[in-house]
Amino acid sequence: MLRKIGIILEMIKFEHTIFALPFALIAMVVAADGVPNWRIVGWVLAAMVGARSAAMGFNRIADARIDAANPRTAGRAIPKGQVSMAGAGALVVVSAALFVGAAYMLNPLALALSPVALLAVLSYSYAKRFTSLSHLWLGLCLGIAPVGAWIAVKGRIDVAPAVLSAAVMLWTAGFDIMYSLQDLEFDRKMGLFSLPARFGPGRALLVSRLFHACMVGLLVCFGLLAGLHTVYFAGVAVVATFLIYEQSLVSPKDISKVNTAFFTLNGFVSIGLLAFVVVDVFVC
């Protein structure tokens, strides 16, 4: 059983929750001006786990044939026969039910918008088949988290969380462009769409850097709209430093450090900014 659970967690890349969850917590802490009711915290976490597990499970089902043909992904659970299509489908259904149930327990607006959020995160799996802007689509999926957490606390949508969500969208799209450099030739061969496959690695990386620069600007705007203090803006400066270093690790001629840029540094970005926000809200 433990081995099976480990396979499932690996299939849905559970550790990548580190990308969206800290930004949801940032929105939640700022909206509550501290720690919200623990009931809200619990259901927000349940919603995050449900939405992400449903999205990743569905993605693995939709991409099973493509994953099997790609040497980089042929070892994933479904192509290797470690998880059946039916088993993955059951995971998607249970996870989606958890997400909708958590939204129901939060408030009426969260419940009303839960089908829209599910449609966005599930439909992403097909984006690469028809648009090179699939990176932004993925960014939108992760960017839902801050708005959702804000709704959980406030019961409404405001400008500040929307700006934070836009920052998350551009951040995600930027690092996804870098990650997709690994599949440039495969995507072209299979007729799949990505910015590197369409424009080449050089131009794609320029777009990635533009997205990350805009992300920093949006984080500044979020801080101003939310009335945050000097500690937060110091955190934004640290985030900018991490992003500059991340971009320096990857070039059109050398993508050997993509995984370091993708996971390690982006983990520092999300968790690091959360730490600065917590200090700003609770101390300043």
What's residue 88's pLDDT? 94
pLDDT one-digit tens code per residue, 95-146: 999 999 999 999 999 999 999 999 999 999 999 999 999 999 999 999 999 9
pLDDT range class, residue 167, cuts 50, 70, 90: very high
pLDDT range class, residue 192, cuts 50, 70, 90: very high
Per DSSP, helices labelled H in 128-262 are: 134-154, 159-180, 184-190, 195-199, 201-226, 230-248, 258-259
Residue 38 CB burial class (10 angstroms; 0-12, 13-18, ≥19): exposed
The pLDDT of 176-193, averaged and rounded, is: 95
pLDDT one-digit tens code per residue, 1-46: 778 888 888 888 887 888 899 999 999 999 999 989 999 999 999 9
CA distances from 253 to 134, 170, 179, 185, 242 (A): 23, 24, 14, 14, 21
State the total domains in the chain: 1
Domain encompassing residue 108: 2-283
Q: Which two tokens stand for residue 137?
A: 């689509």
Residues in a beta bridge with 251? 254
pLDDT one-digit tens code per residue, 47-70: 999 999 999 999 999 999 999 999
Between residues 262 and 83, the one the model is more confident about: 83
What's residue 13's pLDDT? 84
Residues 6+ positions from 114 with CB-CB distance below 8 Å = 99, 100, 103, 104
Q: What's 6's domain CATH number?
A: 1.10.357.140
How far does the chain reach from its first CA to its final CA, in angstroms? 47
DSSP helix/strand/coil, 251: strand
Q: How far apart are CA 147 and CA 154, in angstroms?
A: 10
Is there a contact between 54 and 90 (Cβ–Cβ < 8 Å)? no
Q: Is the pLDDT of residue 259 over 90?
A: no
The whole-chain average pLDDT of the chain stands at: 95
What's residue 6's pLDDT? 86
